[in-house]
Structure 1
Amino acid sequence: MNRTRLTATDIVAPPVAPDRLAEYRRFGYISDQTMSASVVRAARQWGSQPAVIEGGHQLTYQELLEVVERAAAWLAGAGIGPGDVVCWQTPNWWEAHVLGLAVWHAGAVSCPIAPFYREHELRQVIQQVRPAAVVTAETFRGFAHAEAFDDLLAGAGLGDAARVLLRGTRPGWSPFDVVVSHGRRQESAAVGADDPCLILFTSGTTSGAKAAVHSSRTLLAETRQLADAWGLSWEDVAYMAAPLQHITGVLNAMTIPLQVGASAVLADRWEADVAVADIVRHRVTYSAGATVFLQELTEAARAARVHLPLRMFACGGAAVPRAVMERSEEQGIPAARVYGMTELPTVTVMNRAYPFDLRAETDGAIAPGVQVRVVGTDGEPLAAGCAGELLVRGPEQMLGYLDPAANRAALDDAGWFSTGDVGLVDGAGYVTITGRVKDVINRGGEKFSARDIEDLLLTHPAVRHAAVVPGPDARFGEVPVAFIVFDQPGQASVDDLSRHLHATGLARQKTPVAWHFVDALPMTPSGKVKKFELVATANTAERLG
């Protein structure tokens, strides 16, 4: 089996300059702590404190350590160790939380996969990371996850990959109970703080998703950044319905609770009424998620006539209208906009101590240790208050992408990361995002490539040209809208094209919700599609209904 064993030297990207590393250390932004030691550290400090709660199951930190050590021992017995990549695509179940931590405990590299990914995206992930093991559910929400992994692993020549199954049975898969019910225990692996520990896939302007790699040093710098800014401690309780496989879930349900001794309440799907009941029952004090979560949580709390115990709701990943924040504030839910990305998760940060107008009108204050530069189309820095592309760098910045070409495109020699976002920084250091140069759809905080969808549409024999742009949506902010030019008019219907995309294994969230069949796409003289015109058409069509 030709699997990946990942080391820091495999990431071909500009290193952090020694003087910046020294500054990060001097201010305490980074340390030598590793994710492999984090569960042990938490159990020693907060052993009897509830660690994770999901459904009717609860584990204290001491109980969590015991089951993590057993799962890590099973992984070691299956030949999984430092540098090996373990992919996991699961609902937000407590067993997934345990195995995600066990991967780190064993010194392996965690590769969470967004739960809405289907065969098309899963194939890209497997081809890039060549996992030594996979973890998934038998089925969830009508999709046979384990069956899909079996087919894709076989196709990639990884038929010998170890497999762990949650809440089900399937030949060739080890049930979770078997993985944790033996008597063996594994000590935490002695890996370095700069060794890769996390791979998260993120879409940009290119067709394929890019694999962003974090180390313990970068991931824990991010963790401390948020924990400090929000004043979190062992007395706090997090609520997480966003996937554990998203950076929001990794931080708020896994690494932050481990760092401060907080409890994490997990939900395997977002239902606002259920969230209100859970938050009240467990006395939840903080949460994070996309705009739609805040909006629906506020409405559900108002309908239930309850005052939630939340002290903080961090809202990001998509535009946050002021009206949404005004309604949440009226309901006693103090929210703050934050800005970041998988590659550098906290560019800005705020908490409830900031005046409401700043929390509602800007995307936050530049986080400690982070630098933001605004540049024009010529790459030259712009003055405060002028809008341009944002370049960022900081202590929680990824090591780099797996693909060296992606690093060359996104990072310069000084370590500045091109975000593809357009915004401004005012004289007081507050950031406001005004637009985007990246060709992506931002559906409720989940960002994916428009080109990926276009490439698949072009495989339909009737399609000559295809363009996909973001269209407005009241719930998700943006949704995919497709513009299609046929070889011959009327050659295919909306249903035909939707079925074609489904047959390719594309995630259903990426299927366009509106279709425009046109004679031609608007083009620039150089042959590029004028997507801004298509966006305007999509917006007009939505307004006219």
Structure 2
Amino acid sequence: MNFDAVLIPSRRERNVSAGYWRDQTINDALDACLRERPDQLALTAHRVASGEVTRFTYAELARMADRMAVGLHQLGVRAHDVVSCQLPNGWPFTLLYLACARIGAVLNPLMPIFRERELTFMLNHAESRVMVVPQTFRGFGHAAMLQGLRPELPHLQHLLVIGGTESGGTCFEAALTEPAWERDPEAARILSATRPTADDVTQLMYTSGTTGEPKGVMHTANTVSANIHAYAERLHLGADDVILMASPMAHQTGFMYGLMMPIMLGARAVLQDVWDPVLAAQVIRDEGVSFTMASTPFLADLTRVVGDGASQGEAGVPTLKTFLCAGAPIPGPLVEQARATLGAKIVSAWGMTENGAVTLIRPEDADERAVNTDGLPLPGVEIKVVDADGATVPPGETGQLWLRACSNFGGYLKRPHLNGTDADDWFDTGDQARIDAQGYLRITGRSKDVIIRGGENIPVLEVETLLYKHPAVAQAAVVGYPDARLGERACAFVVPRPGQTLSFEDMVAHFKAHKLTTQYIPERLEVLAAMPATPSGKIQKFKLRDQLQAAPTD
């Protein structure tokens, strides 16, 4: 594979001299842990369905990484080859990345919910040589699906199946984890010959697809490590922390902060393959978890479970210091309730697959900052909000968000024309935002989410925030649809809470009770059983627009 990571060379001198790019890879971090803390527990992986728990010390982690790396080499994997996986959170995921890094291969994580359409596109676009899947996960036969797709995947040489091969392919354990490949006479040469530099592409991750066809985001060790160091420093995380990751590691959140960050800090990682808030609360207590990151529904679930347990006299989660929430604004009442129930600081953040976390509040900030903002830029990140002509707008005004970051990606695979980065390395995020006088960011929506009704911009985020305040609403999204007279009108999509209903008249009365300008009230309401969403939980508004086009209003 020839990776066209064209955004790396022009930024190198500036980021190295500033100290953001340290020219260290995950290999360097793992080797340091092996020297300094070989017997320390490094990884604990919980499988919810079976109750199985697997643990690795750093010595065991390094040995298995070497074993699997040599095993991949024996399968013909070489530097710059793409190894894809569709795995839940667990030790095979972590070890597969570490093994790829040992020999310079590129890991391409794919969300377990992807099916034939997405996988065919992504595996062919990436020219993946190896695909690793579970035999089954959550009742679905991943191995059988991939076996059926193989005639459409000309680049795929090996299908490795964890937990059996009834549906074809090669047994993952027999190929990679059971043979003592690290004792092979050629092991030392294999493990040293093609170790990647910090500017080589190490991760290929596809965008979640909020706007249509996914794009392959290329990252190097320098781009991801620059972000992780700044993130950990902002949150005061270190080797003594225990980090729980129940968000998918096939998403940037789980990958960077659940897989990579613990090793870079010499800390402990605790993985959970399926979200179960009751188990998560117990895991936090049993493992002494101090930090976790997930989306708002995870926070709401954990708060409810711990609160219910407290009313029954159960222990809380006293070791949990910080819960970082990203992906959507955090409702104020939830922050207050979570703070009181969990005893943890609730931190808001915003980021992208292309950059990792870009902004987050400081632990020292007032709790209201987590409700009203998405935080301050991390070190090495600059942000600006511009108007349609590219001029920076005053504080508090909404416009297009651009950023320039040490963690900005290397480009989109095979699509450099879509990189959205100018000659001065400013990246167009595609988001609308505002920055207050203190420098705190607030995302107000995607550029395509802007609704212009009769020449007036409708503040989509404000309308959605009011909808969330209705007691019958669990999820809400507002999108525009064409109108011959006004240009656009607004439609509200809602998912009601269990046992609740919402009529159009109820919605209008709710908005009027909150004194919303009449011109901002959506002219249409659609009630759904579930929102179309990305694997990370982001609502796919383009699909909502498609629904409106398929069933136009009178």
Does the TM-score normalized on the shorter chain lie above 0.5? yes
Q: CA deviation at 1:23?
A: 4.2
Q: Residues 501-516 of structure 1: matches in 2 within 5 Å?
A: none
Distance 1:287 1:475, change over 3 A: farther
Q: CA deviation at 1:213?
A: 0.5
More divergent stretch after superposition (161-170 vs 311-320)? 161-170
The residue that corresponds to 1:35 in the other structure is 26
User: Contact 2:322–2:344 (CA<8 Å) still a contact in 1?
Assistant: yes
Q: CA deviation at 1:72?
A: 0.5
User: Contact 1:385–1:427 (CA<8 Å) still a contact in 2?
Assistant: yes
User: Contact 1:292–1:475 (CA<8 Å) still a contact in 2?
Assistant: no
Q: CA deviation at 1:130?
A: 1.0
Distance 1:469 1:155, change over 3 A: farther
The residue that corresponds to 1:246 in the other structure is 251
Other structure's SS at 2:206 match: strand
What are the superposed Cα offsets for residues 66-113 of structure 1, whole Å, 9 maximum, x if unpaired? 111111110011111210000000111222222222122221001000
Is 1:425 equivalent to 2:435 in the alignment? Answer: yes
The residue that corresponds to 2:334 in the other structure is 324
Matching residue's letter, 2:35:
R
Matching residue's letter, 1:162:
H
- Equivalent-residue separation in structure 2 for 1:196 and 1:312 (angstroms): 31
What are the superposed Cα offsets for residues 301-336 of structure 1, whole Å, 9 maximum, x if unpaired? 111113312111111012211221111111112111
In structure 2, which of residues 232, 235, 241 is the aligned counterpart of residue 236 of structure 1? 241
User: Contact 1:290–1:316 (CA<8 Å) still a contact in 2?
Assistant: yes
The residue that corresponds to 2:159 in the other structure is 163
In structure 2, which of residues 360, 385, 389 is the aligned counterpart of residue 374 of structure 1? 385
In structure 2, which of residues 93, 96, 101 is the aligned counterpart of residue 99 of structure 1? 96
User: Contact 1:14–1:412 (CA<8 Å) still a contact in 2?
Assistant: no
In structure 2, which of residues 321, 343, 351 is the aligned counterpart of residue 311 of structure 1? 321
- Equivalent-residue separation in structure 2 for 1:439 and 1:406 (angstroms): 23
The residue that corresponds to 1:495 in the other structure is none
What are the superposed Cα offsets for residues 336-361 of structure 1, whole Å, 9 maximum, x if unpaired? 10111001112112342222122332
- Equivalent-residue separation in structure 1 for 2:81 and 2:114 (angstroms): 22
User: Contact 1:322–1:360 (CA<8 Å) still a contact in 2?
Assistant: yes
What are the superposed Cα offsets for residues 107-161 of structure 1, whole Å, 9 maximum, x if unpaired? 1001000111111111110121010111110111232111222222321223x51
- Equivalent-residue separation in structure 1 for 2:385 and 2:285 (angstroms): 42
User: Contact 2:21–2:406 (CA<8 Å) still a contact in 1?
Assistant: yes
Other structure's SS at 1:340 match: strand
Q: Residues 14-93 of structure 1: matches in 2 within 5 Å?
A: 14-15=7-8, 17=10, 21-55=12-46, 56-93=53-90
In structure 2, which of residues 134, 139, 143 is the aligned counterpart of residue 142 of structure 1? 139
Is 1:199 equivalent to 2:231 in the alignment? Answer: no
In structure 2, which of residues 383, 395, 403 is the aligned counterpart of residue 392 of structure 1? 403
Q: CA deviation at 1:244?
A: 1.0
- Equivalent-residue separation in structure 2 for 1:83 and 1:325 (angstroms): 44
Q: Residues 410-421 of structure 1: matches in 2 within 5 Å?
A: 410-421=420-431
Root-mean-square deviation (Å): 3.2
Q: Residues 207-226 of structure 1: matches in 2 within 5 Å?
A: 207-226=212-231
The residue that corresponds to 2:109 in the other structure is 112
More divergent stretch after superposition (74-83 vs 427-436)? 427-436
The residue that corresponds to 2:509 in the other structure is none
- Equivalent-residue separation in structure 2 for 1:439 and 1:200 (angstroms): 24
Matching residue's letter, 1:520:
P
- Equivalent-residue separation in structure 2 for 1:513 and 1:389 (angstroms): 21
- Equivalent-residue separation in structure 1 for 2:440 and 2:282 (angstroms): 35
Distance 1:206 1:297, change over 3 A: closer
Task: Identify unmatched segments of 5+ residues in structure 1.
Answer: 443-449, 452-466, 477-497, 502-506, 523-545
The residue that corresponds to 1:486 in the other structure is none
User: Contact 2:400–2:431 (CA<8 Å) still a contact in 1?
Assistant: yes
The residue that corresponds to 2:294 in the other structure is 289
What are the superposed Cα offsets for residues 386-406 of structure 1, whole Å, 9 maximum, x if unpaired? 111101121111001013255
User: Contact 2:362–2:375 (CA<8 Å) still a contact in 1?
Assistant: no
User: Contact 2:130–2:159 (CA<8 Å) still a contact in 1?
Assistant: yes
User: Contact 1:392–1:416 (CA<8 Å) still a contact in 2?
Assistant: yes
Distance 1:375 1:99, change over 3 A: same
Distance 1:380 1:26, change over 3 A: same
User: Contact 1:36–1:107 (CA<8 Å) still a contact in 2?
Assistant: no
Matching residue's letter, 1:471:
F
**What number of residue pairs does the alignment pair up?**
462
User: Contact 2:102–2:195 (CA<8 Å) still a contact in 1?
Assistant: no
Distance 1:129 1:521, change over 3 A: farther
User: Contact 1:204–1:439 (CA<8 Å) still a contact in 2?
Assistant: no
In structure 1, which of residues 276, 282, 291 is the aligned counterpart of residue 281 of structure 2? 276
Matching residue's letter, 2:200:
D
Matching residue's letter, 1:72:
A
User: Contact 1:222–1:345 (CA<8 Å) still a contact in 2?
Assistant: yes
More divergent stretch after superposition (345-354 vs 84-93)? 345-354
Matching residue's letter, 1:175:
C
Matching residue's letter, 1:60:
T
- Equivalent-residue separation in structure 2 for 1:105 and 1:291 (angstroms): 36
Is 1:175 equivalent to 2:180 in the alignment? Answer: no
Matching residue's letter, 1:61:
Y
The residue that corresponds to 2:552 in the other structure is 520
- Equivalent-residue separation in structure 1 for 2:492 and 2:86 (angstroms): 26
Q: CA deviation at 1:168?
A: 2.5
Matching residue's letter, 1:168:
G
The residue that corresponds to 2:270 in the other structure is 265
User: Contact 1:14–1:414 (CA<8 Å) still a contact in 2?
Assistant: no
- Equivalent-residue separation in structure 1 for 2:261 and 2:234 (angstroms): 12
Identity of aligned residues (%): 30
